[in-house]
């Protein structure tokens, strides 16, 4: 009982000291905002001296978050954020500071800024992503915390930000832990830092917090949706306009501060061949939000995927959020356009954004380019299936992913996991995630990357209890790399005993770009090329095959890949090198997809 009371008292003290994370302000880029990107001071703190005292208790004062200055020569202050090194934000510390290449732990970041407050407005401090555990302070006061390295979050800082000089300090901790999502074991670089845009948005005291506008499920001629204010303010006039469709709705909020609507329209459907987006304007008397929204229908029928009622083959590629050329975490529009343009050159109409929610910019650029999107949360490999906190973490990330991108018609698949070992606990965990995803959004397909089981006589059988909870059967397989040989692919048989479409979510093998040799020699471009040729012949025979997303577009950093002079901490399964040079297998996929385009006209 004493422990419970102590915990409740601590929670009360914490709640009273800091602002709470508020629901995400949708479409932040359409608001009036000031960017905080640029030069930030940083302090490496492996022992967390700036957060804990020598008894390992969190500082109430005197922590690095205070940004304290020595008032006189006799003052003892053992840090100085103003004279600490500079790092460009957004960015990961692993690539920005050679000393931090493999560092996992705490780094403090500080940004000074001049700010002009506006009477009657609220000030929202927004982060696109911070990996992994972020504690945020404004002018020395804790405004909130966020767990999860790939989803956006924001705080209402109206009461702590001042007119004039301000500073924000962020404690970033990217240490891996067994009960985290993702867990300790992962096959990509654990880039630490403030890895996406930072800004302060100014919104009215009562503002449009969120909205959803899309075709109603199973009703091609109906657009339905809702708009929600940040407060339960009734009687507010809301206007929704889609000028090109001559649509103009005048609505009034209910007692919850919300409006809902359905209206008949006949939009041109968004598709990879015609990525049509409509200008949408949502406004009230003191606020106007512009967005671009497309309308499409994604569904399955038996073993087929239908886009706008027509059978479609998902010509895809998997992508990590790895910056082309520069190295490190991709974050900018230029990064997104480069990566997606390579996918388009390959002939893709679809990208699997693995293994976590990618930048909002990436999803929006894919939509403009006509690329369907598989979006995923990092429930990866061996998660703590029986830990309720781990499940809540995963569900929160799923919620954040769907919340942010629900108006992006390019997103056609929500993925809830990748290569997870079978168990009753795992099945309950993923079943609950699947059902939760459907509650949040019933208009898209649900999937996950499963694994196949090797059986006698070269039979590969998929047997996964999660088949009941997904719309598309997706699995990873590595014939020719982790199993068997390229030549053995000719002998392989596949048993997928479900009446659902099949996507091969991963296949492939590694090649060091520029290394050449016989097609039987590992690590050469010729070996990878042969692997792709034989795998495509094999996979084409699978009944219900509806898409592919080979692993992977570009070589990416991974601490698991250590072979000197070949891997050098890179996973070399990319079809494009980290310097943007296309390997021979790229053109195998390009030729294959060009044929698929003809088949599915």
User: Residue 162 pLDDT > 90, yes or no?
Assistant: yes
- Taking every pair of Cα atoms in the chain, the longest distance, rounded to a whole number of angstroms, is 81
Give helix 584-599 / helix 525-539 axis angle, nearest 10°: 20
Into which CATH architecture does domain 299-599 fall? Alpha-Beta Barrel (3.20)
CATH class of 208-296: mainly beta
Backbone φ/ψ region at 235: left (φ over 0), alpha (ψ -120 to 50), beta: left
Per-residue confidence (pLDDT) for residue 8, from 0 to 100:
36
Please name every residue paired with 264 in a beta bridge, in sequence order, or none if there are none: 222
Report pLDDT digits (tens) over 330-382.
999 999 999 999 999 999 999 999 999 999 999 999 999 999 999 999 999 99
- Burial profile 561-596: b = 16 or more Cβ within 10 angstroms, e = fewer: beeeeebebbbbbbbbbbeeebbbbbebbeebbeeb
Q: Which residues contact 60 (CB under 8 A, 6 or more apart)?
A: none
- Cα(84)–Cα(547) distance, rounded to whole angstroms? 50
- Would you say residue 591 has pLDDT above 80? yes
Helices and strands, number each (H, E), in the chain: 8, 36
User: What is the reported pLDDT for 454?
Assistant: 73
Three-state SS sequence of 336-383: HHHHHHHHHHHCCCEEEECCCCCCHHHHHHHHHHCCEEEEECCCECCC
> With bands split at pLDDT 50, 70 and 90, how would you rate the model's confidence at 1?
very low
Q: Tell me, what's the pLDDT at 15?
A: 38
Instruction: Please state, in angstroms and rounded to a whole number, the distance separating the CA atoms of residues 380 and 201.
Output: 34
- The one-character DSSP state at 180 is S
Mean pLDDT for 449-475 is 91
Average pLDDT over residues 127-156: 97
Q: What is the pLDDT of residues 392-448, one digit of tens each?
A: 999 999 999 999 999 999 999 999 999 999 999 999 999 999 999 999 999 999 999
- What is the structure's pLDDT at 367? 98
The mean pLDDT value for 80-98 works out to 97
Q: Which two tokens stand for residue 395?
A: 């569900």
Q: Give the C-alpha separation, 444 to 298, whole Å.
A: 6
Q: Above 90 in pLDDT, residue 466?
A: yes
- Whether the per-residue pLDDT at 457 is higher than 90: the answer is no
> Predicted confidence band at 19 (pLDDT cuts at 50, 70, 90)?
low
Tokens 């929670």 belong to 11
Residue 181 has what pLDDT?
Answer: 97
Q: Which CATH entry fits the domain spanning 13-204: 2.60.120.260, 2.40.10.480, 3.30.360.10, 1.10.760.10? A: 2.60.120.260
Mean pLDDT of 96-100: 96
Q: Give the lowest-confidence range in 3-17, 205-219, 299-313, 582-596.
A: 3-17
Q: Mean pLDDT across the chain, nearest whole number?
A: 94
pLDDT by residue (tens digit) across 539-590? 999 999 999 999 999 999 999 999 999 999 999 999 999 999 999 999 999 9
Smallest CA-to-CA distance from 213 within 410, 436, 409, 373 is with: 409
Q: Which two structure tokens, joined as six digits, stand for 86? A: 């500079």
Q: Is a pLDDT exceeding 80 seen at residue 222?
A: yes
Instruction: Tell me the percentage of the chain whose pLDDT exceeds 90.
Output: 92
pLDDT at residue 13, as a whole number: 37
Backbone φ and ψ of 488, nearest 5°: -65, -20
* Alpha-carbon span 217 to 220, nearest angstrom: 8
Alpha-carbon distance of 98 to 164, in angstroms, equals: 35
What are 523's strand-pairing partners?
Answer: 511
Give 220's pLDDT tier (boundaries 50, 70, 90).
Answer: confident
d(C-alpha 514, C-alpha 263), whole Å: 57
Cis amide linkage into residue 132, ω under 30° from 0: yes
Name the nearest CA neighbour of 369 among 244, 268, 267, 276. 276
What's the rounded mean pLDDT across residues 442-455?
91
Residue 393: per-residue pLDDT: 97
86 burial class (0-12, 13-18, 19+ CB within 10 angstroms)?
Answer: exposed
Q: pTM (2 decimals)?
A: 0.94
Q: Tell which wins on pLDDT, 598 or 563.
A: 563
Q: Is the pLDDT of residue 32 over 90?
A: yes
How do strand 247-252 and strand 287-293 relate by DSSP bridges?
unpaired
C-alpha–C-alpha distance, residues 100 and 93, integer Å? 6
Most confident stretch, 209-223, 408-422, 456-470: 408-422
pLDDT at 536: 98
299-599: same fold as 208-296?
A: no
CA-to-CA dists, residue 482 to 311, 415, 476, 510, 572, angstroms: 33, 24, 11, 11, 14
Does pLDDT of 4 surpass 90? no
Domain coordinates in residue numbering, the chain: 13-204, 208-296, 299-599
In angstroms, what CA-CA distances link 433 with 97, 398, 451, 465? 38, 8, 18, 14
Q: Per-residue pLDDT tens for 288-327?
A: 999 999 999 999 999 999 999 999 999 999 999 999 987 7
Predicted local distance difference test score (pLDDT) of residue 58: 93
């Amino acid at each position: 009982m004493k422990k419970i009371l102590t915990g409740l008292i601590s929670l009360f003290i914490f709640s009273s000291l800091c602002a709470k994370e508020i629901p995400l302000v949708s479409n932040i880029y359409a608001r009036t905002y000031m960017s905080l990107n640029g030069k930030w001071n940083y302090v490496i703190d492996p022992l967390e001296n700036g957060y804990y005292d020598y008894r390992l208790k969190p500082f109430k004062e005197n922590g690095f978050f205070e940004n304290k200055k020595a008032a006189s020569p006799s003052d003892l202050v053992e840090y100085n954020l103003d004279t600490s090194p500079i790092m460009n934000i957004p960015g990961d510390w692993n690539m920005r500071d050679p000393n931090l290449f493999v560092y996992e732990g705490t780094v403090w970041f500080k940004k000074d800024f001049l700010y002009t407050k506006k009477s009657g407005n609220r000030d929202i401090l927004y982060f696109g992503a911070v990996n992994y555990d972020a504690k945020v302070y404004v002018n020395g006061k804790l405004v909130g915390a966020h767990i999860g390295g790939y989803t956006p979050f924001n705080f209402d800082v109206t009461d702590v930000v001042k007119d004039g000089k301000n500073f924000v300090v962020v404690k970033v901790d990217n240490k891996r832990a067994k009960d985290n999502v993702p867990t300790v074991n992962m096959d990509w670089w654990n880039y630490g830092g403030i890895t996406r845009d930072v800004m302060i948005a100014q919104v009215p005291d009562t503002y449009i917090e969120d909205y959803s506008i899309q075709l109603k499920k199973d009703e091609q001629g109906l657009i339905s949706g809702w708009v929600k204010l940040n407060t339960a303010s009734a009687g507010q006039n809301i206007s929704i306009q889609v000028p090109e469709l001559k649509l103009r709705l005048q609505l009034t909020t209910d007692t919850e501060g919300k409006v809902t609507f359905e209206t008949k329209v006949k939009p041109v459907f968004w598709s990879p061949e015609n990525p049509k987006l409509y200008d949408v304007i949502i406004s009230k008397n003191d606020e106007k939000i512009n967005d671009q929204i497309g309308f499409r229908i994604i569904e399955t029928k038996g073993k087929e995927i239908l886009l706008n009622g027509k059978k479609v083959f998902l010509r895809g590629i998997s992508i990590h959020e790895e910056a082309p050329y520069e190295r490190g975490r991709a974050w900018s529009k230029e990064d997104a356009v480069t990566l997606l343009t390579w996918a388009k050159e390959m002939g893709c109409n679809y990208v699997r954004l693995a293994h976590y929610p990618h930048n909002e910019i990436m999803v929006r650029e894919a939509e403009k380019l006509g690329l369907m999107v598989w979006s995923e949360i990092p429930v990866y490999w061996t998660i703590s299936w029986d830990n309720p906190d781990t499940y809540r973490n995963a569900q929160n990330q799923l919620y954040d992913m769907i919340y942010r991108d629900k108006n992006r018609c390019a997103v056609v698949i929500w993925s809830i996991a990748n290569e997870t070992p079978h168990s009753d606990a795992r099945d309950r965990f993923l079943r609950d995630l699947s059902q939760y995803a459907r509650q949040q959004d019933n208009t898209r397909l649900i999937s996950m990357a499963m694994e196949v089981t090797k059986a006698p006589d070269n039979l590969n059988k998929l047997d996964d209890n999660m088949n009941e909870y997904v719309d598309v059967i997706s699995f990873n397989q590595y014939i020719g790399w982790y199993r068997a040989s390229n030549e053995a692919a000719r002998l392989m048989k596949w048993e997928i005993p479900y009446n659902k479409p099949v996507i091969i979510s991963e296949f492939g093998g590694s090649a060091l770009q520029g290394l050449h040799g016989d097609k039987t020699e590992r690590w050469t471009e010729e070996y990878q090329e042969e692997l792709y040729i034989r795998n495509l012949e094999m996979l084409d025979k699978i009944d219900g095959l509806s898409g592919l997303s080979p692993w992977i577009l570009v070589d990416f950093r991974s601490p698991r890949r250590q072979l000197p002079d070949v891997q050098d901490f890179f996973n070399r399964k990319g079809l494009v090198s980290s310097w943007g040079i296309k390997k021979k297998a790229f053109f195998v996929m390009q030729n294959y997809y060009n044929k698929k385009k003809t088949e599915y006209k």
